[in-house]
Amino acid sequence: MIARGDLGTAIPFEQVPTVQEKIVNLCRSLGKPCLISTHFLESMTCYPTPTRAEVADITEAVYQGADALILTSETASGRFPFRSLSTMHAVTKRIEEHMADRKLAQKVVKQPSVLKMKHATNTTAFKSTFIAEKLASSAAVLSDQRNAKAILVFTQKGLMANLLSRNRPRAPIVAFTAAPAIRNKLSILYGVRPLQITFLDNSEDTIQSAFNELKLRKVVEKGDMVVVVADVLGGTKGSPKEDIEIVFEEFSRGSGVISQGRVRAALRRLGLKVSDAVEAALGMRDFDLEESTRMELAASKNTTAAPVEQTVDFQRFCQYVEEATEVVHTLQLRCVE
């Protein structure tokens, strides 16, 4: 969050606009949500209408591509909180419509690979997310070229929705997820409308269920063109032994075993998935290394003895890999049925 009030006390005031733009561009390049706050409609704490300079300030923030703009004193202690909010909404909506009408793309920023920085030594992780980044970029370009009504993305952890938002397509991004926590997390991203649905065993059934949900909400109508980003199960099984060893070492952290609950995440890192029945039997959960690390730290601080979770050694993990099926990332241009 760019708190411009605090920023203005830390640097000369004439540098605030340029530093704000640099921070927004940096956040966008790294795929991080960027929020800007303070003094957008400061005059409306006392008066019912904004100044023209304040409107221009909001306009520039929208052009820069911030994910969200925050009102502070205008709604916390001002005399016209609801009018301030409606004014902010009206201005941002009008500018976004203007950009869409003129087909103005927001400022393009350099987009380095997120995983290249996060897992610089893990080639398997890099390859997996490099493909996801290219897929998201292609989906944004396709939707703009074909004037798609919406982009539909099905995500477990929100990564693909984040990558799509980073590309700032003109079409709204509808992110479907099964987890309430991920749905709430995605709500802050630019252009993303998160919805919670149940993922079915058959990917085509899940897509049709999403179409029905969007038609009920009147987001799309029959005959509308949409871009669908989804994973389907391919026919290939297994993975190269070198990649298996790298992923196992990453998830085991040198201990030689992986907890059963983290096997699913390890398989997904390899681009694989076992059957839902096997996942349920093993109690596999879908969380990443950072989340599991936080859970382990919390458990270590808890004096209450926790039940010991079953573990999987390398040989057993290889058996799961052999039984798993490749997950194929797909980009589809579909007509709503």
Domain ranges of the chain: 2-101, 117-337
- Is-contact 107 96, C-beta < 8 A? no
Q: For tokens 């997950």, what's the residue?
A: 327
* Exposed e or buried b per residue across 189-200, where buried means at least 16 C-beta atoms within 10 angstroms of its C-beta: bbbbbbbeeebe
Q: What is the mean pLDDT of each run of 10 residues along the chain (337 residues)?
A: 90 92 88 90 95 95 92 94 96 89 56 47 51 87 92 88 90 92 92 91 88 94 93 71 85 85 80 70 50 51 54 87 82 91
What pLDDT is stored for residue 159 in this prediction? Answer: 83
The listed CATH number (3.10.105.10, 3.40.50.300, 3.20.20.100, 3.20.20.60) that belongs to domain 2-101: 3.20.20.60
Cα 65 from chain centroid? 16
**Is the C-alpha dihedral spanning 241, 244, 246, 248 positive or negative?**
negative
Would the pTM count as exceeding 0.85? no
**Is the C-alpha dihedral spanning 236, 242, 243, 244 positive or negative?**
positive
Contacts of the segment 207-216: beta carbons below 8 A, 24+ positions apart:
207/152, 207/154, 207/334, 208/337, 210/152, 210/154, 210/174, 210/176, 211/336, 211/337, 214/150, 214/152, 214/174, 214/336, 215/336
The listed CATH number (3.20.20.70, 3.40.50.1820, 3.40.1380.20, 3.90.420.10) that belongs to domain 117-337: 3.40.1380.20
- Is-contact 84 44, C-beta < 8 A? yes
What pLDDT is stored for residue 266 in this prediction? Answer: 83
- Going by C-alpha positions, the residue among 159, 165, 50, 149 that lies closest to residue 106 is 165
* Exposed e or buried b per residue across 140-155, where buried means at least 16 C-beta atoms within 10 angstroms of its C-beta: bebbbeeebbbbbbbb
Tell me the β-bridge partners of 152: 174, 228
What pLDDT is stored for residue 32 in this prediction? Answer: 87
∠62-67-68 over CA atoms, to 5°?
80
3-state secondary structure the chain: CEEHHHHHHHCCHHHHHHHHHHHHHHHHHHCCCCEEECCCCHHHHCCCCCCHHHHHHHHHHHHHCCCEEECCHHHHCCCCHHHHHHHHHHHHHHHHHHHHHCCCCCCCCCCCCHHHHHCCCCHHHHHHHHHHHHHHHHHHHHHHHCCCCEEEEECCCCHHHHHHHHCCCCCCEEEEECCHHHHHHHCCCCCEEEEECCCCCCHHHHHHHHHHHHHHCCCCCCCCEEEEEEEEEEEEECCCHHHHHHHHHHHHCCCCEEEHHHHHHHHHHCCEECCHHHHHHHCCCCCCHHHHHHHHHHHHHCCCCCCCCCEEEHHHHHHHHHHCEEEEEEEEEEECC
What pLDDT is stored for residue 1 in this prediction? Answer: 92
